[in-house]
Structure 1
Amino acid sequence: MSQAKLPEYAAQAKKRVDAFRASLEEESDRGLVLVGGAFLEEELKELLRVYFALQRRLLNPASQSAQELENTVKSLFSFQGGGPLSTFAGKSNLAYALGLLEKYEFRSLGSFSKLRNKFAHNIESNTLQSPQVVDLVKNFLDSKKVERDAVADRVAKLAYQLIARTVILSQDDLPAETTLQLLGFARGDPYGLSQKT
């Protein structure tokens, strides 16, 4: 695997995130948080699903059929069945425990999950400036300011990190060991997420 493929993977991730970030401009503050939360949760789910498949290839590729694995993974994410990964928090906790998230990303996702839940379950929270959510927004941004663009940008940056890792993990043409090494490409803090704004 050459380093030349890394920009291709980065471009795939960036393209998806750019489209997502642009779509957030059309949303109200509530929509920004709810749609952003749904997108991040779905990307966490996809990252975990791809990670499970990679581990299966690494550990014992013949022990379980693809369909059996898919059914098992679906049951983990099943909300109706009370699957342990049916919640945003469950997904982010496992991703962090598996080393798929950096500490600052895990904290940001946790803060955003609380913000999303407040918007989803409190009809009075209409804007990012609403008294019910302003402290949650500041905590998510790690800032004393509440700025809509900063919220959308941070959500997009988190999405990029998740998608970049998923794209790398999903490369079937790479040996599993190489794929795990390439996760270093999507590590670190290339967008300053851990910096105060």
Structure 2
Amino acid sequence: MEPGQRPIEESNRYQYQTALEEITKGSDRNAAILAASMLDYNLKHILISFLIDRKETVSLFRDTNAPLTTLSGRINLAYALGLIAADEYEDCHIFRKIRNDFAHRFEVNFSFQDPEISKLSKKLKNNLFIGEGRLFGGAGELTEARESFNLAIEFLSTRLEDRANFVIQQRLTEVKWPGSSLDDYEYQVI
């Protein structure tokens, strides 16, 4: 997102819906990696919408070794600034851990049935399970862990996608601090 650009462009809505379909219908590995990518995208736009509108802000997310190029860094800053709630913060880190496990495991049959992945998926808070039923989400015959994962990413990513549009209304502006400019001082020519 460039300075002055709206947080979530309408042209991205199709891509967003297509990604959600891929997450719910695709392989476990695809779902894990794409879900984390969606959260990464949403958090980037939330933060850029909140921070001062200048090119240096964008460089925090793009430049080599920039502090906000990692999902973990974006999650932590968004939470520290109060832009995401505690349950969203925890779920984002769970999605990050699941993504990392899938991205760094070589086993071809690695899936949501893995005990550690299953345990992490069931910890997700934003999945809207109500007893044995559910409000929305899911696809086909999925494991309970995969179902929880799908519901959680659908609900959380929707919440965060909309958040950027609200956050921009609270965007930070530059403050002129006392003593921050040479114009604040009187000089005497000797």
Q: Is the structural similarity TM-score above 0.5?
A: yes
Residue identity in the other structure for 1:154: A
Structure with greater proportional helix content: 1
How far apart in 2 are the matches of 1:92 and 1:100? Answer: 10
How far apart in 1 are the matches of 2:125 and 2:104? Answer: 21
Q: What do residues 152-193 of structure 1 show as CA deviations (whole Å, max 9, x unaligned)? A: 1101111111111112334xxxxxxxx23xxxxxxxxxxxxx
CA RMSD of aligned residues (A): 2.6
Q: After the TM superposition, list the runs of 4 or more consecutive aligned residues in structure 1 that deviate by more than 4 angstroms.
A: 15-19
Say which SS state the counterpart of residue 147 (structure 2) adopts: helix
How far apart in 2 are the matches of 1:22 and 1:38? Answer: 14
How far apart in 2 are the matches of 1:23 and 1:93? Answer: 27
Aligned residues: 143
How far apart in 2 are the matches of 1:156 and 1:20? Answer: 10
How far apart in 2 are the matches of 1:131 and 1:137? Answer: 10
Preserved contact between residue 126 and residue 152 of structure 2 (Cα < 8 Å): no
How far apart in 1 are the matches of 2:148 and 2:117? Answer: 15
Match of 1:51 in 2: 50
How far apart in 1 are the matches of 2:125 and 2:118? Answer: 11
Match of 1:128 in 2: 112
In structure 2, the gaps of 5 or more residues are 1-9, 128-142, 171-190
Preserved contact between residue 76 and residue 84 of structure 1 (Cα < 8 Å): yes
- Compute the TM-score of the two structures, normalised by the length of structure 1: 0.63
Alignment of 1:146-157 (within 5 A): 146-157=144-155
**Please, which of 76, 98, 112 is the counterpart of residue 93 of structure 1?**
76
Aligned-pair CA distance for 1:142: 8.7
- Compute the TM-score of the two structures, normalised by the length of structure 2: 0.65
Match of 1:22 in 2: 21
Preserved contact between residue 20 and residue 156 of structure 1 (Cα < 8 Å): no
How far apart in 2 are the matches of 1:25 and 1:142? Answer: 16
Residue identity in the other structure for 1:90: G
In structure 1, the gaps of 5 or more residues are 1-11, 57-68, 171-178, 181-197
Is the alpha carbon distance of 1:120 and 1:150 closer, same or farther for their aligned partners in structure 2, counting shifts above 3 Å?
Answer: same
Preserved contact between residue 30 and residue 127 of structure 1 (Cα < 8 Å): yes
Say which SS state the counterpart of residue 147 (structure 1) adopts: helix
Higher mean alpha-carbon deviation, 133-142 vs 19-28, is at 133-142
Aligned-pair CA distance for 1:114: 0.8
- Identity of matched residues, %: 27
Match of 1:35 in 2: 34
Aligned-pair CA distance for 1:50: 1.2
Highest CA radius of gyration, 1 or 2?
Answer: 2
Aligned-pair CA distance for 1:95: 0.4
Aligned-pair CA distance for 1:19: 4.4
Say which SS state the counterpart of residue 133 (structure 1) adopts: helix
How far apart in 1 are the matches of 2:125 and 2:145? Answer: 9
Preserved contact between residue 59 and residue 66 of structure 2 (Cα < 8 Å): yes
Alignment of 1:1-197 (within 5 A): 18-52=17-51, 55-56=52-53, 69-70=54-55, 72-78=56-62, 81-124=64-107, 126-140=110-124, 146-170=144-168, 179-180=169-170
